[in-house]
Structure 1
Amino acid sequence: MDFSVYFFSANDRNDFGSRYRFILDVARYIDRRGFTAIWTPERHFQEFGGSFPNPAVLSAALAVTTENLRIRAGSVVLPHHHPVRLVEEWSLVDQLSGGRVGVCLATGWHQGDFVFYPDHYERRRQYTLGHVDTVAALWRGESRAFPGPDGSTLDVRTYPRPRQAELPLWLVHTSNPHTWTEAGERGLNVLTLLTSWEKLAEDISRYRAARERAGHDPAAGTVTVGMHTYVGDDEQAVWDRVREPVKRYLASFMTQKRNDDQVGGHRRGTDAAEQDRLAEIMAEDYYSRRSLLGTEDKCAATVERLRAVGADEIACLVDFGLPLDNVLANLPALDALRRRCAAEPAEPAEPAGPAPDSAPTAATPMSWYYTT
Structure 2
Amino acid sequence: MDLSVMFFGADDCDSGAGHAAKYDDILEITRAADSLGFTAVWTPERHFQQVGQVFPSPPVLSAALAAVTNRVAVRAGSVVLPLHHPLRVVEDWSVVDNLSRGRTGISVATGWHSTDFVLAPDRYAGRRQQALADIPLLRRLWAGEAVELPDGTGRPVAVRPQPRPVSPRFPIWLTTSGSPETWTAAGRLRTNVLGATIGQTRQELAEKIRRYRTAYQAAPEQLGTTDRGTVTLMAHTYVGADDAEATRLASGPLRAYLRSYVAQTAANRAGDGRTAALTAEQTDALVEFARQRYLSWGSLLGSPDTCRRSLLDLRDLGCDEVACFVDFGLDRSDILAGLHRLAELRKDLTA
Query: Is 1:206 aligned with 2:211?
Result: yes
Using the TM superposition, give the Cα deviation of residue 236 of structure 1 relative to its aligned residue in structure 2, in angstroms. 2.2
User: Aligned residue for 2:298?
Assistant: 290
Distance 1:64 1:233 in 2: 32
TM-score, scaled to structure 2: 0.93
Distance 1:199 1:280 in 2: 22
CA contact (8 A) 1:106 1:171 kept: yes
Code of the residue aligned with 2:69 in structure 1: it is T
User: Aligned residue for 1:109?
Assistant: 112
Q: Which moved more, 1:234-243 or 1:11-20?
A: 11-20
Query: Is 1:37 aligned with 2:45?
Result: no
Query: Is 1:222 aligned with 2:230?
Result: yes
Code of the residue aligned with 1:236 in structure 2: it is A
Code of the residue aligned with 1:129 in structure 2: it is L
Code of the residue aligned with 1:278 in structure 2: it is L
Number of corresponding residues: 342
Pairwise CA RMSD of aligned residues?
Answer: 1.7
User: Aligned residue for 1:366?
Assistant: none
User: Aligned residue for 1:245?
Assistant: 253
Q: Secondary structure at the match of 2:345?
A: helix
Alignment partner of 2:264 out of 253, 256, 261: 256
Distance 1:265 1:220 in 2: 37
User: Aligned residue for 1:132?
Assistant: 135
CA contact (8 A) 2:178 2:195 kept: no
Alignment partner of 1:99 out of 99, 102, 106: 102
Using the TM superposition, give the Cα deviation of residue 264 of structure 1 relative to its aligned residue in structure 2, in angstroms. 6.6
Using the TM superposition, give the Cα deviation of residue 288 of structure 1 relative to its aligned residue in structure 2, in angstroms. 1.3
Q: Where do residues 144-163 of structure 1 align in structure 2 (5 Å cutoff)?
A: 144-163=147-166
1:282-321 alpha-carbon deviations (Å, 9 max, x no partner) = 1111111110001111111111111111110000000001
Alignment partner of 2:25 out of 22, 40, 46: 22
1:86-113 alpha-carbon deviations (Å, 9 max, x no partner) = 0000000000000000010001111111
Distance 1:211 1:264, change over 3 A: closer
User: Aligned residue for 1:76?
Assistant: 79
Q: Which runs of 5+ in 2 are unaligned?
A: none
Code of the residue aligned with 1:149 in structure 2: it is G
CA contact (8 A) 2:34 2:71 kept: yes
Distance 1:234 1:91, change over 3 A: same
Code of the residue aligned with 1:298 in structure 2: it is T
CA contact (8 A) 2:183 2:193 kept: yes
Q: Secondary structure at the match of 1:129?
A: helix
CA contact (8 A) 1:208 1:218 kept: no
Q: Which moved more, 1:133-142 or 1:13-22?
A: 13-22
Query: Is 1:235 aligned with 2:243?
Result: yes
Q: Secondary structure at the match of 2:108?
A: strand
Q: Secondary structure at the match of 1:45?
A: coil
TM-score, scaled to structure 1: 0.88
Q: Secondary structure at the match of 1:15?
A: helix
Code of the residue aligned with 1:209 in structure 2: it is T
Q: Which moved more, 1:190-199 or 1:324-333?
A: 324-333
Q: Which moved more, 1:159-168 or 1:271-280?
A: 271-280
Q: Secondary structure at the match of 2:238?
A: strand
Distance 1:219 1:143 in 2: 26
Distance 1:219 1:197 in 2: 26
Q: Secondary structure at the match of 1:76?
A: strand
Q: Secondary structure at the match of 1:240?
A: helix
User: Aligned residue for 1:192?
Assistant: 195
User: Aligned residue for 1:67?
Assistant: 70
Distance 1:265 1:243 in 2: 29
CA contact (8 A) 2:234 2:323 kept: yes
Using the TM superposition, give the Cα deviation of residue 219 of structure 1 relative to its aligned residue in structure 2, in angstroms. 6.4
Using the TM superposition, give the Cα deviation of residue 81 of structure 1 relative to its aligned residue in structure 2, in angstroms. 0.4
Q: Secondary structure at the match of 2:77?
A: strand
User: Aligned residue for 2:343?
Assistant: 335
CA contact (8 A) 1:12 1:51 kept: no
Distance 1:204 1:272 in 2: 36
Q: Which runs of 5+ in 1 are unaligned?
A: 345-372
